[in-house]
Amino acid sequence: AGLGEFRIRDLNDEINKLLREKGHWEFRIKELGGPDYARIGPKMLDHEGKEVPGNRGYKYFGAAKDLPGVRELFEKEPLPPPRKTRAELMKAIDAEYYGYRDEDDGILEPLEQEHEKKVIAEAVEKWKMEREARLARGEEEEEEVNIYAVNDDESDEEGGREKEGEEGQQKFIAHVPVPSQQEIEEALVRRKKMELLQKYASETLMAQSEEAKTLLGL
């Protein structure tokens, strides 16, 4: 390490040059039918017994491994933290996650009540001011009308039927005729008969049926 950066780089380049020449001889020996030393030969190890590190075939020996810019080549990037599974994420979800315990601390509820009183007071004050302004302009205050109320003198000439509910409930009037359960069943039977006739009867039978209905006045 005391030789200096430039001398260390020159020596490391010289070693790599000799290694390339060694590789050429090994390739030539294999061409001539000799053993493949590149495959069966011993690996190059450093003084710690570890394989000599390299980058794109270029090896770094001794102090060359600690040169600026070289150490970063062989530093392994830290592994990303393992991602949690869905089951692990669900373990941390409880009622508080959905906001069901926001009022347990006793802070939020009084604030909401105070804000509610303030909003109601502002709405009442606004209504009073509008009412006074209408009275000042001479406008008569309209009486509130209950749209669900039923007048006693309302007749049944429109075909409405009064439906009485349980005790204490308001009464409603239907202003259109409401068929009974029996009438609904008869209409469904007639419709089913017509569908079967249209499906299975021929045109001649349909014509005869219509003629018979006409004669009978149906």
Over residues 82-138, the pLDDT tens digits come to 888 888 888 888 877 777 777 777 787 888 889 999 999 999 999 999 888 888 887
Residue 103 lies in a domain: no
Residue 59 lies in a domain: yes
d(CA 19, CA 41): 13
Structure token digits, residue 148: 């669900």
Half-sphere CA count of 70, side-chain side, radius 13 A = 17
Residue 47 lies in a domain: yes
d(CA 53, CA 65): 8
Per-residue confidence (pLDDT) for residue 158, from 0 to 100: 47
Residue 157 lies in a domain: no
Residue 45 lies in a domain: yes
**Tally of structural domains, the chain:** 2
Residue 207 lies in a domain: yes
Which residues neighbour 170 within 8 Å (Cβ) at sequence distance 6 or greater? Answer: 148, 149, 150
Structure token digits, residue 169: 């409930």
Give me the residues of the chain with pLDDT under 50, please.
154-166, 168
Please tell me whether residue 206 adopts helix, strand or coil conformation.
helix
Residue 134 lies in a domain: no
Per-residue confidence (pLDDT) for residue 171, from 0 to 100: 57
Residue after which a domain boundary falls, among 74, 89, 110: 74
Residue 90 lies in a domain: no
Per-residue confidence (pLDDT) for residue 148, from 0 to 100: 56
Residue after which a domain boundary falls, among 74, 104, 119: 74
For residue 211, the enclosing domain spans 182-216
| 56 alpha-carbon distance from chain centroid | 47
Residue after which a domain boundary falls, among 74, 94, 125: 74
Per-residue confidence (pLDDT) for residue 125, from 0 to 100: 92
Looking at the whole model, is its pTM more than 0.75? no
